[in-house]
Chain A
């Protein structure tokens, strides 16, 4: 399996990449880790005429602290996220989720920018970014804009990115100290995309849930925030009846595709179970 022909470009700055992408028009695509795009090209499901490789752009790399936010350059790989003490300390849920993505070889190449910009409902980072309240910085010919992750996903492989725009970084607010967290992902084998997954970040006060955010992966054509399910658990101590109500509320917004991972009813059912497990584990972690 060999991809169709294309021209290869390797700009050295964001400005050059943006200029190339706008000049070359719709047939040009950014190339990050290539671990979603190249397999699609080998299957000829994607046939870009131009690839604009972002690897030569130093400004897109690295993790830094900006006030209460962790700012992660788009070309930071999943392997680098896993190696980062800053990530492990400030938002351990990101470490946990990154470890559940694919396998070591894929994680050496796959980038956070590619994972969130791809628009594949199977990608794990998007729902997590929504759960954490992250913002994406998009840079195009007419300047930069910041788009909340929660507003970015519009359909399968359809995002707020305009032609010619590059996602340059992801800014993630550091959750409160002592917060509880869990990313529960059901998959068929190591390295697989989620049959269904749920991210939970919560805080407790006096044994009761004070704040809670729940994100869902691969149970709809876009990642989801399960806002109603989160509302259900606020003020409770996550008793069995509440957990059940939360799972039902989360399942109500799920609309997964039936595929090799199972029929719709099954994927919704296990989606609810992922929500329950993530809530329980997050509460156990919270201090």
Chain B
């Protein structure tokens, strides 16, 4: 099948590549761009490990073709740190609250939580849980992931983070 030339912006940089129409966006990101932070966990659109941010939407990149992303603006986990290289509030939250065990789901969780907090900067706990319902973690009980997102929300809003009483 003839290859198609695609261009898009990924983490602020213009990128291009040659892909078959059937090349999934996640493979383009991992293989052509060599950005392997975006994970493949299920391939059935359930786990959310492949989540990237495209033009203001959280998208499972295993269920979209690279050709469909022509001209779009994409942020992956590699683009989540602050401009000066320090950890963003969410990354810091996952670290401080120990929002991970093996870390496989973490890139997808952080990228999804990034969009959630853009749309709703002060989510309640149920809103956080619904907001990350498209992301599966096989290790934890989500408790610390929720705390990590609450930590980030507090930091972004400039308020003190207080853990809810157990």
Contact = CB atoms under 8 A, between A and B. Distances in A.
A102 interface: yes
A191 interface: yes
A104 B58 CA distance: 8
Contacts of A39: 44-45, 63
A42 B43 contact: yes
B112 A1 contact: no
A53 B23 CA distance: 15
A108 B58 contact: yes
A105 B48 contact: yes
B134 A105 contact: yes
A8 B4 contact: yes
**Which bracket fits the contact residues of A?**
20 to 34
A contact patch SS: mixed
Of A2, A5, A38, most buried by chain B (CB within 10 Å of CB) is A38
Interface in B33-82: 43-46, 48, 51, 57-60, 63-65, 67-68
Contact of A38 (B27, B64, B131): B64
A3 B22 contact: yes
B130 interface: yes
A79 B57 contact: yes
Given A34-B64, A35-B63, A106 B134 contact: yes
Given A5-B21, A191-B46, A55 B133 contact: no
Interface of A: 1-8, 31, 34-35, 38-39, 41-42, 51, 53, 55, 79, 102-106, 108-109, 190-191
The list of the 8 closest CB pairs from A to B, nearest first, reads A103-B134, A8-B21, A108-B57, A190-B133, A105-B134, A5-B1, A1-B43, A3-B22
